[in-house]
């Protein structure tokens, strides 16, 4: 992985030993590589450099302010799905003219906040949402720039929980209803049509779903034009996968070829909303083994990180590679790496060959930069981990470890 490698038997992030970070900051701890973050965003920027393009980072994957600021200074925008994400993006310095607001459940308050901010556009998910945004915009004396999220009914061939482009999904407007919704949008006061939006799913590892969905999007854009409705932005969403195990996802360059070769005659810019493919392989979660427990049927390695810190394995059955922070000689054993949470579903690795491990050893759960800390919780009253950013031979705390006092902030005893 870019930014993570062994020197001798010791794991490094860029030029910093992981062990040194943990000795200073404790465990569990999230650690990110600035080089990996920069390289991931640059790959998109270079692939689309010949076309008017906004890389609107999907901050749901990882909304740390330092990471947002770093990407924003490199020229990225943001894909936000809540008022809180809009606030974080603006706090981090993301230009409002590069922010798109998606999500199926926008409230009046969130709409007002986004209209006041002057964002690039709203991605509209339903007819009722379109009507509400019209009323809100008119009441404020403003005009809302919109793209309608068109559901192309393309199978993204990914986990059902992160598949968003099929007819049975809660997301978007069915393709066969989309033209009438656009005509309606063109008539509504306070609404200005600026684009088309689609997003078929996350962790996509094949190019054919991108191709099929975009073909339908382009055909629909031409249909809109025939009906007197022009668009200035084609928002393709995100979803490009990363390598967790042995996947071979397409590269931004391969995706750009599929997209740009189909846009001849369309006077429109491109918006991309990558999240996982920017931060996923730029981060890891380091945990310390506490106990070994052998039963009649299984070996358990009990660590200080659990489903409250990284829920993807419990929620999706997701695979994360496991690297020892210091390699030991000897033979590993098959077993489960589990956490301290009082749930049977609390595991990080299940039924896999683990490296030789003893209590006190550190293990790195790889590819944890996306949907790791972002989905972490305080379940079992466990403070969330620190987040660390490594830049060359230096590391800095970009989120302090929570304290017990943080757990009760905002509460009181009457």
Same structural domain, 298 and 368: yes
Same domain, 134 and 109: yes
Per-residue pLDDT tens over the stretch 132-177: 999 999 999 999 999 999 987 775 554 444 344 344 555 678 888 9
One domain for residues 382 and 327: yes
Look at the chain and report how many structural domains it folds into.
2
Q: What pLDDT, in 10s, does the model give residues 312-368? A: 999 989 999 999 999 999 888 999 999 999 999 999 999 999 999 999 999 999 999
Is the domain of 128 the same as that of 264?
yes
Is 159 within a domain? yes
CATH at residue 268: 3.20.20.10
Do both 344 and 218 map to the same domain?
no
User: Based on the domain organization, do 318 and 373 belong to the same domain?
Assistant: yes
In a domain, 52, yes or no: no
pLDDT at 164: 43
| Amino acid 387: pLDDT | 98
Residue with tokens 């999007």, as numbered in its chain = 217
Residues identified as active-site? 342
Q: Are residues 215 and 287 in the same domain?
A: no
- Which of the four pLDDT bands, split at 50, 70 and 90, describes residue 76? very high
The tens digit of pLDDT for each residue in 185-230 reads 999 999 999 999 998 877 888 888 778 888 888 889 999 999 999 9
Whether 141 and 107 map to the same domain: the answer is: yes
Q: Is residue 284 part of a domain?
A: yes
* pLDDT over 60 (residue 38): yes
User: HEC states along the chain?
Assistant: CCCEEEECCEEEECCEEHHHHHHHHCCCEEEEEHHHHHHHHHHHHHHCCCCCEEEEEECCCCCCHHHHHHHHHCCCEEEECCHHHHHHHHHCCCCHHHEEECCCCCCHHHHHHHHHHCCCEEEECCHHHHHHHHHHHHHHCCCEEEEEEEECCCCCCCCHHHECCCCCCCCCEEHHHHHHHHHHHHHCCCEEEEEEECCCECCECCCHHHHHHHHHHHHHHHHHHHCCCCCCEEECCCCECCCCCCCCCCCHHHHHHHHHCCCCCCCCEEEECCCHHHHHHHEEEEEEEEEEEECCCCEEEEECCCCCCCCHHHHHCCCCCEEECECCCCCCEEEEEECCCCCCCCEEEEEEEECCCCCCCEEEECCCCCCCHHHCCCHHHCCCCEEEEEECCEEEEEECCCCHHHHHCCCCCC
- Domain end: 251, 272, 293, which one? 272
Does residue 200 lie within any of the structural domains?
yes
| Residue 178 belongs to domain spanning | 103-272
345 found inside a domain? yes
Same domain, 265 and 287: no
Query: Which of 228, 254, 272 is a domain's end point?
Result: 272
For the domain that residue 296 is a member of, what is the CATH number?
2.40.37.10
pTM confidence score: 0.93
Per the domain annotation, does 49 fall within a domain? no
26 within a domain of the structure (yes/no): yes
Look at residue 214 and tell me if it is in a domain.
yes
Do both 119 and 265 map to the same domain? yes
State whether 248 and 387 are in the same domain. Answer: no
- Summarised one tens digit per residue, pLDDT across range 228-255 is 999 999 999 988 899 999 888 899 999 9
Give pLDDT, residue 171.
Answer: 65
Q: Is 236 found in the same domain as 213?
A: yes
Cβ 320 vs Cβ 368: under 8 Å: yes
| Domain end among 232, 252, 272 | 272
């Amino acid at each position: 992985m870019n930014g993570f490698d062994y020197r001798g038997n010791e794991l490094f992030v860029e030029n910093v030993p992981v062990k040194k970070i943990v000795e200073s900051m404790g465990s569990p701890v999230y650690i990110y590589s600035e080089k990996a973050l920069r390289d991931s965003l640059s790959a998109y920027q270079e692939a689309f450099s010949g076309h008017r393009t906004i890389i609107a980072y999907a901050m749901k994957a990882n909304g740390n302010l330092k990471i947002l600021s770093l990407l924003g200074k490199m020229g990225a925008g943001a894909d936000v799905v809540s008022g809180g994400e809009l606030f974080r993006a603006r706090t981090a310095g993301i230009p409002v003219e590069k922010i798109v607001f998606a999500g199926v459940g926008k409230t009046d308050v969130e709409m007002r906040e986004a209209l006041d901010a002057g964002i690039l556009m709203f991605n509209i998910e339903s007819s009722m949402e379109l009507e509400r945004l019209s009323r809100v915009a008119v009441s404020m004396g403003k005009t809302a720039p919109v793209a309608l999220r068109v559901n192309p009914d393309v199978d993204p061939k990914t986990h059902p929980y992160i598949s968003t482009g099929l007819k049975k999904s809660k997301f978007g407007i069915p393709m066969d209803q989309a033209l009438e919704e656009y005509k309606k949008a063109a008539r509504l006061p306070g609404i200005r049509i600026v684009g088309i939006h689609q997003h078929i799913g996350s962790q996509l590892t094949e190019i054919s779903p991108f191709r099929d969905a975009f073909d339908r999007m382009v055909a629909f854009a031409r249909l809109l034009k025939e009906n007197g409705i022009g668009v200035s932005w084609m928002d393709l969403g995100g979803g490009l996968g990363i390598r967790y195990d042995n996947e071979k996802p397409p590269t931004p360059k391969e995706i750009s070829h599929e997209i740009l070769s189909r846009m001849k005659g369309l006077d429109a810019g491109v918006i991309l909303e990558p999240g996982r493919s920017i931060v996923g392989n730029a981060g890891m979660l380091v945990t310390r083994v506490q106990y070994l427990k052998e039963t009649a049927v299984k070996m358990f390695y009990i660590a200080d990180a659990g489903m409250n810190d990284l829920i993807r394995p419990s929620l999706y059955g997701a695979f994360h590679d496991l690297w020892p922070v210091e390699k030991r000689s000897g033979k590993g054993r098959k077993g489960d790496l589990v956490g301290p949470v009082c749930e049977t579903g609390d595991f990080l690795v299940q039924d896999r060959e683990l490296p030789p491990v003893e209590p006190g050893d550190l293990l790195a759960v790889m590819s944890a930069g996306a949907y790791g800390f972002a989905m972490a919780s305080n379940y079992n009253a466990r403070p969330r981990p620190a987040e660390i950013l490594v830049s060359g031979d230096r590391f800095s705390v970009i989120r302090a470890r929570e304290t017990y006092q943080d757990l009760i902030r905002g509460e009181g005893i009457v």
